[in-house]
Structure 1
Amino acid sequence: MKLGSLKAGGRDGALVIVSRDLDRFVEAKGIAATMQQALDNWTDIAPRLEALAKQLDGREVAGEPFDATLFSSPLPRAYQWADGSAYLSHMRLVRKARGAELPANAAKDPLLYQGGSDAFLAPTDGISLGDPDWGLDFEAEIAVVTDDVPAGVTADQARGHIKLIMLCNDISLRNVMKPELQKGFGFFQSKPASAFSPVCVTPNELGSAWDGGKVSLPLVSTFNGEEFGRPDAGTDLSFDFSQLIAHAAMTRSLAAGTIVGSGTVSNEDYRSVGSSCLQERRMIELLDEGEIKTAFMQAGDAIRIEMFDARGTSIFGAIEQRVVASRK
């Protein structure tokens, strides 16, 4: 089943079911008004949404033409957004940029930060750049959405709490980040609003590409019309989503609608598959050529993030954003 939220529904969107081929959508009127309402009552509501999805795919329901510009992020705002850093190759490269070493227990203990979740960008919204010197960067990721997760859940138990999967552009301001982290209290100013794919899917939509904790498909980033990277999201992953959720819920419960991110998708073979953010490319250039050649994002730059199934069909639709200079 594929779901999304229309911007026309207000701050929390209007829940819709999207056809498997991303061709049409139908509103979930009479079932659930919003994505959050569906997640709050998932056991009762999901079967009704699935029945309507079958009707839409079987063309028993006509629906409306799919247009990503009509869609907000699946959850336009969320009770919680916790982002991980589950790919050690990414951690090594970006920490090198700020002169930091990997934590000694990096391979055994996941990193998570609490992101801003009060308002997400829509998948086709512009990315506002207040100052070109801030070092604007995209970060292509996978994210999952949970139902209610009890405190102390195990990784095996956490698998059953993953209800939806989507893509993310976790936007970063790299030159704001380094001095901020040196304070020892985590991200805040360096992490503006993230954006998510227009469509989220239930795990069964991914077939064999989903093993209960990770997606094993390439994540494709296209920067200014040229492919930038296609690392496989299931390769070189140190912590899958079940482990990240269990880590987040060690001492507290997670409310339905919690979003958990993988962190920037990255493979150890980054020279062949490319990268999912500019900072990685910059550090590879420094290692290979002795100098950084790639600039951070500027007004007019465009990023597209998308994932395709084995037949080459887009699964989640695309995050497609352009940088705009903010007015002062």
Structure 2
Amino acid sequence: MKLASLRSGRDGKLVVVSRDLNRAVSAAQISPTLQSALDDWTSTEPALQALYAQLNAGECSEAFAFDPAACAAPLPRAYHWADGSAYVTHVELVRKARGAELPESFWTDPLVYMGASDAFIGPHDDIDVESEAWGIDFEAEVVVITDDVPAGSSPELARDHIRLIGLVNDVSLRNLIPAELGKQFGFYQSKPWTSFTPVLATPDELGDAWDGARLHLPLRASLNGKLIGAPDAGQDMTFDFPTLIAHCAKSRSLMAGTVIGSGTVSNVGSEQGSCCLAEVRCLEIIATGAATTPFMSFGDRVEIDMLDANGTTIFGKIDQVVTHYQPPEK
């Protein structure tokens, strides 16, 4: 099943989207928003699946053409957004570029931070940034959405609470990060709003590519029409999603609609390219002693997508342009 939210108020209007992403139908008779559907997933999921089957069979007279540009984020705002750094090879590379050793604990204890979930943005929304000097970077990631997860859940139990899967662009302002982390209190200003693919999919839609813990397909990231990388999201993922969920639920329950991110997808050796410019720059530093690839500029266009074995998009494409934000004068 594939679900999206059309722009409507702050929480969007839930629609069911056909497998080929060509048609959609309102799910208002089942649940007005995705968050409300997740709040009562045991009841809403069978009804949504039935509507999805009707839509794919061409039996919905109310169906209409699906337009990704009309989409908000599937969850326009969420109660909880926890982003991990599950590809430790990426962390190791970044630290190597600045001559720092990777602590052994990084291989056994996940890195996670809580991001801004008061507003997520849609797949075609602009990336508004006030200054290019802030070091504007994209980060292509896989995310999962959970239902209610009890505190103290093991990874085995956490696996059963994954309800939806999608992709995000977790924008980072790289030049603001060092000062923030230097305070030893985490990200804030350096992490603006995160954008989502047009749709989220239930695990059964992914077939053998989803093994219950990892998504084994290349994640494609392009800048201004040039492919920057397509690393396999299931490869070199040190901490799988059940492990990340269990880590986040160690001391408190997670509420329905919690978004858990993988962190920047990265493969050992980076032979398939990178899913962020920071990694590209680190590879340049290691190879030549200096980074030559700039961060993004106003007018740049970033695209993030994942294709199935037949070359068909699964979640739709994130397609964004970096724009110059002008703050109010008074």
**Equivalent AA in structure 2 for residue 206 of structure 1:** L
C-alpha distance after superposition, 1:219-258 (max 9, x if no partner): 0001100111000000001000000000000100000000
Deviates more, 1:174-183 or 1:99-108: 99-108
- 2:227 aligned with 1:227: yes
Separation (CA, whole Å) in 1 of partners of 2:291 and 2:17: 42
- Superposed CA deviations along residues 60-113 of structure 1, whole A, max 9, x for unmatched, are 014111111110111000000000000012112233456654333011010100
5+ residue gaps, structure 2: none
* One-letter identity of the residue aligned with 1:162: I
Counterpart contact for 2:97–2:285, Cα < 8 Å: no
Do the aligned partners of residues 97 and 289 (structure 1) sit closer, same or farther apart at CA in structure 2, a change above 3 Å counting? closer
Matched residue of 1:269: which SS? Answer: helix
Residue 29 (structure 1) shift: 1.7
Contact 2:21–2:316 (Cα < 8 Å) also in 1: yes
Specify the alignment match of 2:5 in structure 1: 5
1:163-174 to 2 correspondence within 5 Å? 163-174=163-174
Please name the residue that 1:287 is paired with.
Answer: 286
What is the aligned partner in structure 1 of residue 299 from structure 2? 300
Match of 2:59 in 1: 60
**SS state at 1:254 partner:** coil
Alignment of 1:316-327 (within 5 A): 316-327=315-326
Q: For residue 176 of structure 2, what is the aligned residue in structure 1?
A: 176
Q: 5 Å matches for 1:24-63?
A: 24-62=23-61, 63=63
- Give 1:303 deviation, angstroms: 0.4
Q: C-alpha displacement at 1:121, in angstroms?
A: 1.3
Contact 1:98/1:178 (<8 A) preserved = no
CA contact 2:97–2:283 (8 Å) conserved in 1: no
Matches within 5 A, 1:120-139: 120-139=120-139
Code of the aligned partner of 2:260: V
Residue identity opposite 1:25 in structure 2: A
User: Aligned partners of 2:174, 2:94: CA distance in 1, in Å?
Assistant: 9
1:98–1:67 distance in 2 versus 1, CA, 3 Å: farther
Contact 2:130 2:325 in 1 (8 A): yes
Number of matched pairs:
326
Aligned partner letter, 2:56 = D
Q: 1:259-270 residue pairs with structure 2 within 5 A?
A: 259-270=259-270
Question: How far apart in 2 are the matches of 1:309 and 1:40?
Answer: 30
Structure 1 unaligned regions, length at least 5: none
RMSD of equivalent CA atoms = 1.0
For 1:83-122, list aligned pairs within 5 A.
Answer: 83-96=83-96, 100-122=100-122
Letter in 1 for 2:303: R
State how far apart, in whole Å, the 2-side matches of 1:116 and 1:29 are.
27
> Structure 1: how far apart are the matches of 2:195 and 2:219?
15
User: CA deviation digits over 1:155-214, x for unaligned, max 9?
Assistant: 001011000001010010101001110110111111011111110000000000001111
